[in-house]
């Protein structure tokens, strides 16, 4: 009975949060996983439902996770999820006290993004074989990803109506269903035009779809598929650094700052709601400038 009642209240909470903030499907799945994991642990340990959890039980759950070497980052995400859940229940009148009221988040080290040099990016962008439809599609995707600093979910979710090549902009649907317009740049526009003219039709065949970058099955490409594609081209380009679609987003932001872009402009282009999220890239840019100074300054 506890499992069913917990499952129901989790889904009610996520539905309420979706209506209030517009959760992405990935965030919703992540919250559902974290809440279900705590509910399952609670039921196994004491038979208690989620709404009866005490501060001591939350602390015991955190200790259990620590004994199994969960990372501080995943624990911080879990606590954020639980805080939101219990505050919502208090607001709805289902609870009187928050079991996380006196529990602090773990302190996280500030992780600097893995940096691709401009030469690395140029090598990656040159790698796709543009003589076939798949290579041409991947080339256009990589050019667009680097030109606009998109998240991979934003990239694979693009449709034809979101692209305006005449004005040189793309309309992006970001986190929380927030829209932003991002300029494309001449190089990305050229490869998108060529891809639309020479490659997209071959991938779709007889299928009718407004997906901008269809898979070889004429459906919307998954994030995982594009991750494998980017690793494939990185290997061909001889790039040995850890690489993912998000690495190009980091490169986009860092290279803009290296060339003098304003931090608030980069924030808008990335779709960050908080400037502090963008500020991490200034540390990367400063580290790069410091290393250049050490190499090239006569007294470095």
- The catalytic residues are 151, 175, 246, 249, 272, 281
CA distance 133 to 154: 21
Cβ–Cβ < 8 Å for 44, 63:
no
Strand order in the sheet with 169-173: 163-164, 169-173, 179-183
214: helix, coil or strand? Answer: strand
Please say whether the beta carbons of 79 and 103 come within 8 A. yes
Structure tokens at 51: 């709404």
Q: Is 96 exposed, middle or buried (0-12, 13-18, 19+ CB in 10 A)?
A: exposed
CA 27 from chain centre, in angstroms, equals 10
Q: Is the dihedral of CA 76, 82, 88, 91 positive or negative?
A: negative
Rounded Cα distance between 283 and 292, Å, is 14
Q: In the structure, how many helices (H) and strands (E) does the chain have? A: 13, 3
Residue 185 phi, psi (nearest 5): 90, 155
Q: Which three-class secondary structure state does DSSP give residue 239?
A: coil
Give one DSSP letter per residue of 94-157, joined into a string. S-SS-TTTT-PPPPPP-PPPPPPPHHHHHHHHH-S-TTSHHHHHHHHHHHHHHHHT--HHHHHT
DSSP 160: G
């Amino acid at each position: 009975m506890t499992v069913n009642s917990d499952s129901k209240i989790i889904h009610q909470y996520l539905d309420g949060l979706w209506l209030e903030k517009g959760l992405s499907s990935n965030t919703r799945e992540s919250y559902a996983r974290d809440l279900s994991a705590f509910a399952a642990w609670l039921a196994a340990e004491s038979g208690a439902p989620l709404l009866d959890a005490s501060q001591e039980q939350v602390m015991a759950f955190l200790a259990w996770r620590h004994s199994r070497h969960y990372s501080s980052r995943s624990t911080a995400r879990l606590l954020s999820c639980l805080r939101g859940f219990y505050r919502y229940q208090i607001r709805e009148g289902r609870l009187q006290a928050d079991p996380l009221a006196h529990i602090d988040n773990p302190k996280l080290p500030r992780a600097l993004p893995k940096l691709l040099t401009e030469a690395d990016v140029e090598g990656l962008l040159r790698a796709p074989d543009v003589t076939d439809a798949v290579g041409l599609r991947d080339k256009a995707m990589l050019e667009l990803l680097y030109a606009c600093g998109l998240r991979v979910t934003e990239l694979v979710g693009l449709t034809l109506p979101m692209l305006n090549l005449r004005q040189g902009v793309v309309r992006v649907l970001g986190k929380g269903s927030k829209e932003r317009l991002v300029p494309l740049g001449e190089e990305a526009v050229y490869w998108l035009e060529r891809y639309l003219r020479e490659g997209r039709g071959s991938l779709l065949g007889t299928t009718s779809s407004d997906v901008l970058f269809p898979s070889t099955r004429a459906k919307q490409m998954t994030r995982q598929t594009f991750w494998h594609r980017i690793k494939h081209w990185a290997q061909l380009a001889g790039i040995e650094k850890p690489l993912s679609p998000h690495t190009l987003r980091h490169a986009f932001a860092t290279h803009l700052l290296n060339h003098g872009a304003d931090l608030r402009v980069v924030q808008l282009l990335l779709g960050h709601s908080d400037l502090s999220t963008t500020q991490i890239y200034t540390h990367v840019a400063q580290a790069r400038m410091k290393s250049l100074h050490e190499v090239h300054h006569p007294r470095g």
